Amino acid sequence: MGKVSDGIAALDAAAACAAVRADLERGRDPMELIDEARVGLQEVGERFDAGEYFLIELIRASQVFQETADLINPKLTELYGRGESRGKVLIGTVAGDIHDLGKSIVKVLLDCRGVEIMDLGVDVAPPAFVAAVRDFGPGVVGMSALLTAAIPQFRTTVEALEAAGLRDTVKIIVGGGTVIDLDAAMLKADHVASDANAGVDVMLAWLDEAGGASAAN
Amino acid sequence: MSDTMTHYERMRAAWNCEVPDRVPYMPMTVYFVARQGGLTIKEFITEPEKFLKAALDGLDFIGDAQHPALNTADHMWMLGHAGWDMTTLDWRIWDEFPPHGNLPSIYEKVLIQDYDDVMERGFSTILFSTALENNIHERSIDDFLYYQFEHTKVWSSVWRRFYDETGIPILIGGRAEHPLDLLQSYRGISQLVTDMYTMPDKVLEFSYWLADYEVMQASREAVTMGAGELPGAENIFFYNGAPPGMPPDLYAKLYIPVAKKMIDAWVARGFNVWCHFDNDQTPHLEGLAGFVDGLPKGRVLLDLEKTDMKKAKEVLGGKIAICGNVPSTLMVYGTPEEVDAYCKKLIEDCAAGGGYILGAECETPWDSKRENVVAMKQAAEKYGRY
Ligand code: B12
């Protein structure tokens, strides 16, 4: 840990950004810096898991991380071009449901592990998932729902992917407070996540198995 | 043993942290009753007579524990038919229940751009915004005025009739939200989180400003509903939904003092305050205990969602009445036996010495199994005798 990761872990945007600026000025490798920022965010994730940090603090940490990443990224692209990604994940809350906090946590956790993410937002209709799978070419699709009434949408969305001939190109994971007791097969998904961390582990294993973004495409 | 109290007397005893004849049961069957009565969402919102009939039919399986007025004494409630809410928030309202429609929803966005501007020039600065995608700016101002000031009277007359026919009190007169909750809708949760960290004092200042409005409008609504004449209309339903997962330091700074100010203001005007929570309050129980400081007995009820009820009883028992919290997933997916066992455990953990009401988690979901709702009612009767 250094000043950047400490700043993120302490939710102190000013300190984290000041440290980034100073490091960049001193000519520190931006790759190293972004890795350090990820460590900070991961630390917050772990404290959240341990019950030391609360949901709002996790959201805030992701904002602070984003602020530092915005400073680091231009330098990163300048020196290295578009970086290596560990793979691509498409994520969204299904049609009829507007709860997005759980999904956003998943996004943050993937982000700090070097995964490229496309977030379709909330109330995402099946055709939008299909179009994004086609255009973005993710290895994994993650869907979230908190309303019991939205649960059938998991299946409907998977069926839309089947109809478009895209089902076999992706692994599908679902999550959200009301789904944890459900059976993946019933939803036509590959996995039902009990919480964000467990889900992220499964997704990373899938991505690593497929050998990163290129293999997933 | 048979009941020796009416539902209202039993509820009052519980609010007072006294021992009633048995544990009261309060399932918050809002959409559920409409759904069981075969109504669409549109009928339920716009046709009071139909909803009255559904509420009367509901007596068969919910008994006298209904509190029909909850969904109609309206401000920021799911229906979005209060004028103010209609014209300042991005409500999407469907005619039907899922799968053909959905429950009414607010789409979060940054609708308040500048706290100072709104405090200086008032809420009219964001009325009829074209940023709302519900085409509200095409509707007439008369429509807005009607829903803001007149519509409650329609419901008021319906619930007076309900009371005349059944003797069942309505349990809620007015409805208000905690300013932080409103801000989640007016700023979006992500922006609100940024605000709470980058300008906490501004958020607090705005919250106090908004609190005055909420206190006033809920009081007015309760009077229209019949506070003082119609039993239960003297209760203000104080909604505290969001933001979820607040850390204790922010909660103590931004949430508790504003809530306390509002509660004190209502109690000073003769109302009771039913504080409804949508999130896990376990980390904040000590702070909530302060809600009744300086107040006469029996004026505040805490209705708790994901909270550890046993812990809540330990911290709040004898001070403030608590209500909760059979999980919504259990009501939808579980069996009557599971509901029964859950209720039994809750009663064992919380009922000793009074001050406990068996309730759902937030509300009884519209898609709950009817037999589960019946199981909850029966559990209160079976295990709740004092
Ligand atoms: C906050 C909240 C809201 C906010 C949402 C704000 C936002 N930007 O998301 C607002 C106020 C807008 C809201 C609205 C409504 N809500 Co709401 N809401 C909640 C509440 C209080 C918390 C949800 C939450 O964010 N939890 C925290 C997150 C972090 O948890 P989570 O989503 O479960 O995510 C975790 C895991 O499940 C996992 N995960 C989640 N998604 C995914 C996806 C993947 C791929 C993976 C791997 C993992 C994963 O990761 C997370 C961390 O571990 C819950 C009650 C509760 N306490 O749970 C009710 C609740 C979900 N809401 C409910 C309802 C009914 C509604 C409304 C219909 C009410 C209304 N009409 O106004 C509307 C919904 C409208 C709609 N169309 O969606 C009900 C649902 C009941 C049911 N049977 O369906 C609940 C359970 C409350 C209740 N008990 O009645 N709500």
Quick one: pLDDT band at residue A192, thresholds 50, 70, 90? very high
The predicted structure's pLDDT at residue B288: 96
Please indicate, yes or no, whether residues A169 and A200 belong to a single structural domain of this protein: yes
Q: Answer yes or no: do A60 and B193 touch at CB < 8 A.
A: yes
- In this predicted structure, the answer to whether residue A212 has a pLDDT above a threshold of 60 is no
CATH number of the domain that residue A35 is part of? 1.10.1240.10
Nearest chain A residue to B334, by CA: A181
Please indicate, yes or no, whether residues A67 and A126 belong to a single structural domain of this protein: no
Write down which residue in A48, A81, A114 finishes a domain: A81
- Look at residues B148, B111, B145, B146 and name the one whose alpha carbon lies nearest to residue B126: B111
In the 8-state DSSP scheme, what is residue A84? P
Residue percentage of chain B with pLDDT more than 70: 96
- What mean pLDDT, rounded, does chain B reach? 89
Ligand 1, residue A91: give the atom nearest the CA. Answer: 45
Please give the residue range of the domain that contains residue A8: 1-81
Length, in residues, of chain B? 386
Inter-residue contact A97 to A122 (CB < 8 Å): yes
Please indicate, yes or no, whether residues A30 and A124 belong to a single structural domain of this protein: no
Quick one: pLDDT band at residue A117, thresholds 50, 70, 90? very high
The predicted structure's pLDDT at residue B70: 61
Chain B nearest CA to A172, separation (Å): 23
Q: How far apart are CA A96 and CA A158, in angstroms?
A: 16
Ligand 1, residue B189: give the atom nearest the CA. Answer: 8
Number of domains in chain A: 2
Number of domains in chain B: 1
Inter-residue contact B362 to B305 (CB < 8 Å): yes
Q: How far apart are CA B308 and CA B270, in angstroms?
A: 31
The predicted structure's pLDDT at residue B76: 58
Length, in residues, of chain A? 217
Q: How far apart are CA B346 and CA B325, in angstroms?
A: 8
Please indicate, yes or no, whether residues A102 and A5 belong to a single structural domain of this protein: no
Mutate to test the pocket of ligand 1, among B105, B109, B178, B181 (most ligand atoms within 8 A of CB): B105
Inter-residue contact B346 to B358 (CB < 8 Å): yes
- Please give the model's pTM, rounded to 2 decimal places: 0.89
Task: Evaluate whether residue B2 is within a structural domain.
Answer: no
Residue nearest to atom 31 of ligand 1 (CA): A102
Residue with tokens 């009371």: B163
Chain A nearest CA to B90, separation (Å): 12
- Best probe of the B interface among A8, A52, A56, by most B CBs < 10 A, is A56
Q: How far is the CA of B278 from the centre of ligand 1 (A)?
A: 10
Please indicate, yes or no, whether residues A128 and A201 belong to a single structural domain of this protein: yes
Please indicate, yes or no, whether residues A151 and A175 belong to a single structural domain of this protein: yes
The predicted structure's pLDDT at residue A214: 45
Q: Which amino acid is at B170?
A: I
CATH number of the domain that residue A138 is part of? 3.40.50.280
Please give the residue range of the domain that contains residue B133: 7-383
* Model pLDDT for residues B229-276, shown as the tens digit of each residue: 998 899 999 998 778 899 999 999 999 999 999 999 999 999 999 999
User: Across the interface, which of A56, A96, A178 has its CB nearest the CB of B246?
Assistant: A56
Give the pair of three-digit tokens for residue A51.
């019950």
Give the pair of three-digit tokens for residue B132.
């709302």
Residue nearest to atom 13 of ligand 1 (CA): A99
Q: Which amino acid is at B321?
A: A
Task: Evaluate whether residue B61 is within a structural domain.
Answer: yes
Q: CA dist A45 to A50, A85, B11, Å?
A: 9, 21, 43
* Model pLDDT for residues B35-87, shown as the tens digit of each residue: 999 999 888 888 888 988 998 999 888 888 877 666 565 665 545 556 677 77
Give the pair of three-digit tokens for residue B306.
């994901």
- Three-state SS sequence of A32-72: HHHHHHHHHHHHHHHHHHCCCCCHHHHHHHHHHHHHHHHHH
The predicted structure's pLDDT at residue B68: 65
Give the pair of three-digit tokens for residue B56.
């009367």
Helix (H, G, I), strand (E, B) or coil at A96: coil
Task: Evaluate whether residue B340 is within a structural domain.
Answer: yes
* Model pLDDT for residues B306-342, shown as the tens digit of each residue: 999 999 999 999 999 999 999 998 999 999 999 999 9
Please indicate, yes or no, whether residues A140 and A66 belong to a single structural domain of this protein: no
Q: How far apart are CA A157 and CA A159, in angstroms?
A: 5
Write down which residue in A34, A65, A81 finishes a domain: A81
Give the pair of three-digit tokens for residue A48.
């959240």
User: Across the interface, which of A56, A150, A177 has its CB nearest the CB of B250?
Assistant: A56
Q: How far apart are CA A131 and CA A136, in angstroms?
A: 8
Write down which residue in A48, A63, A81 finishes a domain: A81
| DSSP structure string for B171-238 | ---EEEE-HHHHHHHHH-HHHHHHHHHH-HHHHHHHHHHHHHHHHHHHHHHHHHHTTTTSTTTTEEEE
Q: What's the order of all strands across the beta sheet hosting B235-240?
A: B25-26, B356-360, B321-326, B300-303, B272-277, B235-240, B174-177
Pocket of ligand 1 (CB under 6 A): A 55, 96-103, 105-106, 142-144, 146-149, 173-178, 193, 195-196, 199; B 78, 102-106, 108, 189, 241-242, 244, 278-279, 305-306, 328, 332, 361-363, 365
Q: Which residues of B touch A147 (CB under 8 A)?
A: 98, 103
Please indicate, yes or no, whether residues A216 and A119 belong to a single structural domain of this protein: yes
Residue nearest to atom 87 of ligand 1 (CA): B362
Task: Evaluate whether residue B1 is within a structural domain.
Answer: no
Q: Which of A8-17, A146-155, B279-288 has the lowest mean pLDDT?
A: A146-155
Q: Can you tell me the mean pLDDT for B148-166?
A: 86
Query: Interface pTM (ipTM) of the complex?
Result: 0.91
Q: Return the number of other C-beta atoms located less than 10 Å from residue B257's C-beta.
A: 16
CATH number of the domain that residue B198 is part of? 3.20.20.210
Ligand 1, residue A197: give the atom nearest the CA. Answer: 53
Q: Which amino acid is at B237?
A: F
Q: Return the number of other C-beta atoms located less than 10 Å from residue B324's C-beta.
A: 25
CA B20 to chain centre: 23
- In this predicted structure, the answer to whether residue A120 has a pLDDT above a threshold of 50 is yes
Q: How far apart are CA A118 and CA B326, in angstroms?
A: 36
